[in-house]
Amino acid sequence: MHFVEALSTNICEVSIIKLQDIVAYQIYPRSFQDSNGDGIGDIPGITRRLDYLKELGINLLWITPMYRSPGCDNGYDISDYYAIDPVFGTMNDFDRLVSQAKARGIGIMMDMVLNHTSSQHHWFQEALKGKDNPYHDYYIWKTAPKGQLPNNWQSKFGGSVWEYVPDLDEYYLHLYGRAMPDLNWENPKVRTALFQVMRFWADKGIAGFRLDVINNLSKDQRFPNDTFATPQDDGRNFYTDGPRIHEFLREINREVLAPYGLISVGELSSTTIENTNLYTNPARQELSMGFTFHHMKVDYPNGQKWALGMNDLPTLKRIISNWQVGTMNGGGHLALFWTNHDQPRALARFMNDDVYRDQSAQALAIIEFGLRGVPFVYQGEEIAMKDAYFTSIDRYQDAESRNAYAGLLQDGKSAAEALAILQQKSRENARLPMQWDDTANHGFSSHTPWLIPEHDDQHTVARASACPASTLAFYQELIHLRHSNDTLKSGRFELLDPADGEVFAYRRESDSEILLVVANFTQQVLSRRLPKGTYHTIIANYKKTSLTGDVLTLQPYEALILRTSK
């Protein structure tokens, strides 16, 4: 039986789980739960916490890569697609995780990296042996006159995308780290080999794949220079949503996703609404849904990530609304999120992680879960975990953050200025170990964790579990509501008061009811007039709703969903 069917039979006795019925959770395995005392989270640790996840109410678990890897990019540099990295456990551990999760109605979604491998992968090691080697053409090679590069594209991790191999007098392309060479998707042998990899994992009964940087697979074969007119014109114009991408995705779907009935979520960086609809409209048979990132760039001044920036609420609302409406009308499907392992946590970024920490966490959750799409909770969001706020560059292990720091110093920033930018923008902020309880290392590990928190934080799962008003209890209630309300799952979306710079409010509508989702994004007490209707609260992060006539008074970071029938 296909996993999707098995999973849904378990949950609600229908034959195929619908996208709208999914609430997903993301695990960054290094930081979730260590079981063998080496300071690094692992698969048995995840299995141990399955009951916790079941109680939270989620039914899909995305786990970032656990394949064998030298770890230059924490697992996104795969050296063997067919092996579990010993740091995370064994293949038996993985099989047990899949079956234990399935027994609880939870599907496992593997993270699959099809754009690049590690330079340690035997395909690349063979490719280095010479132009006649059958694996040479598995990667993308170019030549250039002495002292020049094949083109001016910039790597996502800083510097050129081209790395010179003197023995071959050729450059290979790496959109990410230089230890992560890009695969040549023009070569049918590459595609066949990768489909075989995907089938191997599908045969294990997983529920689906999260497909890493999937819209970068097809490069413009002319490899032209980019203009650098804006920070975005850095080469990505020629590989984002590239010429053959839809053809490649339909092939993946036909060869692997459809035959196994797998759920798929594509990581779609710098894409457009039009392309997202093409990728995720079921009629096109490409992907089930997509992560898009435009709302994650509202605090990039002039498009620059590595600079201090402020959230601008009307801009954030406009972007979210455009994507909601655009995908609703185009039949596309979004994966919803505020944070992940590549983003600082949303709390400080959009709200307040200090005095109003729990109210803020709950308000963000209400806004996310109210939207049209599949909500993803990133580990720790459900206990309002904060950013790492490291005060020394030595604390950072992430290559992207360290490269950015070096670049900032080169551009003339002082060490203090560069650190302040990292504290706000580094993805390592969201990679601190989970805070389970008050024992050593917050119950994450008996050993010093691989990434050591600099500040002690009492927000733990154990404390939250003992408190009925905690953010954890709130998440459980919200997830339950999401599973039981059809308007949240599939109602129409409309943004209210786009220019309001303090309140985020929108409406979801079905044939039987209208829901108003409202959140105060400030620490002021605010009043807003509601549209016509008799409303009652179905969920809120404050005990009592203050509604007098049609005037709603909102406490700092108060958020709620109001219902009126039609």
- Which residues of this protein are in contact with ligand NOJ, per CB under 6 A? 73, 76, 113, 176, 212-213, 267, 341-342
CB of 376 to ligand NOJ, least distance (A): 13
Is residue 267 among the annotated active site residues?
Answer: yes
Inter-axis angle of helices 273-280 and 245-252, nearest 10? 20
Nearest distance, CB of residue 535 and ligand NOJ, angstroms: 40
Catalytic-role residue among 111, 163, 241, 267: 267
Q: How far apart are the first and last CA of the chain?
A: 41
Six-digit token string for 50: 């399955």
Asked if residues 107 and 59 have their Cβ atoms less than 8 Å apart, the reply is yes
Residue found under tokens 């709302």:
295
- Residues 503 and 221: their CA atoms lie apart, in Å, by 46
Is 88 or 504 the residue whose CB approaches ligand NOJ more closely? Answer: 88
For the bound state, the minimum distance from the C-beta of residue 396 to ligand NOJ, rounded and expressed in Å, comes to: 14
Angle between helices 357-370 and 471-484 in degrees, nearest 10:
10
Q: Report how far residue 276's alpha carbon sits from residue 326's, in angstroms, rounded to the nearest whole number.
A: 9
Sign of the CA dihedral running 166, 167, 173, 178: negative
Least distance (Å) between residue 269 CB and ligand NOJ: 8
Q: Is 212 a catalytic residue?
A: yes
Extended beta strands in 278-420, E state? 289-291, 335-336, 374-378
**Contacts of 313 by beta carbon, 8 Å cutoff, 6+ apart:** 500, 501, 502, 504, 521
Amino acid at 191: R
Spot the catalytic one: 21, 73, 212, 358.
212
φ, ψ at 419 (rounded to 5°): -65, -40
Residues 445 and 433: their CA atoms lie apart, in Å, by 9
For the bound state, the minimum distance from the C-beta of residue 60 to ligand NOJ, rounded and expressed in Å, comes to 17
Angle, helix 415-425 to helix 399-410, in steps of 10 degrees: 140
Q: Nearest residue to ligand NOJ, using CB?
A: 76
- Supply the angle between the helices 273-280 and 313-330 in degrees, to the nearest 10: 40
Per DSSP bridges, beta strands 526-529 and 551-554 are antiparallel
How far is the C-alpha of 295 from the C-alpha of 349, rounded, in Å? 12
As measured in angstroms, the least distance from the Cβ of 362 to ligand NOJ is 26
DSSP 8-state code for residue 78: -
Helix, strand, coil % in the chain, rounded to nearest 5: 35, 20, 45
Quickly tell me which residue has 């302040």 as its tokens. Answer: 420
What DSSP string runs through 250-285? HHHIIIIIHHHT-EEEEE-TT--HHHHHHHH-GGG-
Q: How far is the CB of 345 from ligand NOJ (least distance, A)?
A: 15
Helix axes 91-103, 3-12, angle to 10 degrees: 40
**Active site positions, annotated:** 212, 267
